[in-house]
Amino acid sequence: MLRFWLSLLVLGFAFWTIGQLMTLRILGRTYQTSHYFITDVQPEDIAQRSIAAIKVEICNESGASEAKIISDEPSLRSRKLRFSLTAPEDIEQAIAKELDMPLQEVNSLAYHKVHNHYCGFRNYSGQNFRNSH
């Protein structure tokens, strides 16, 4: 009977020792991971972002327009551009120059809404217009 208990004790000790050695070997490994990782990157240039649409509001009476750049990425905020222009072609050229994008791409992304009354945004001169929406 003593031989059974002694062999059970030796067997238990052997399992514990082997388990400890395996644990130390696994935890001591170095994994081949990249040393650097990048998180929360915000591109500097809006032209490199994914632009879904360009919403242009033109106020004929005030002689001003406002372009809102809408991004596909929900984490990025939209950007507003204001111009003292009312001709859609001139506004698209100004947007293309501001965003450093091809005119054809701006033309395909832009849609215009023309108001024949005062709008609620300011033009370049800083003059405020009342909002009549």
Q: What is the pLDDT of residues 74-95, one digit of tens each?
A: 666 678 889 888 888 999 999 9
- Residue 106 CA to residue 81 CA, distance in Å, equals 13
Q: What pLDDT, on a 0 to 100 scale, did the predictor assign at position 40?
A: 57
Flag whether 86 is in a domain: yes
Asked if 72 and 129 count as a contact pair (C-beta separation under 8 A), the reply is no
Tokens of 86: 């009312």
Flag whether 122 is in a domain: no
As for how many domains the chain has, the answer is: 1
Flag whether 28 is in a domain: no
Flag whether 34 is in a domain: no
Q: What pLDDT, on a 0 to 100 scale, did the predictor assign at position 38?
A: 57
Flag whether 74 is in a domain: yes
- Residue 119 CA to residue 56 CA, distance in Å, equals 12
Q: What pLDDT, on a 0 to 100 scale, did the predictor assign at position 100?
A: 85
| pLDDT tens, residue by residue, 34-79 | 555 556 555 555 445 578 889 999 888 888 889 998 887 766 667 8
Flag whether 41 is in a domain: no
Domain carrying residue 98: 49-115
Flag whether 53 is in a domain: yes
The pTM score is 0.53
Flag whether 19 is in a domain: no
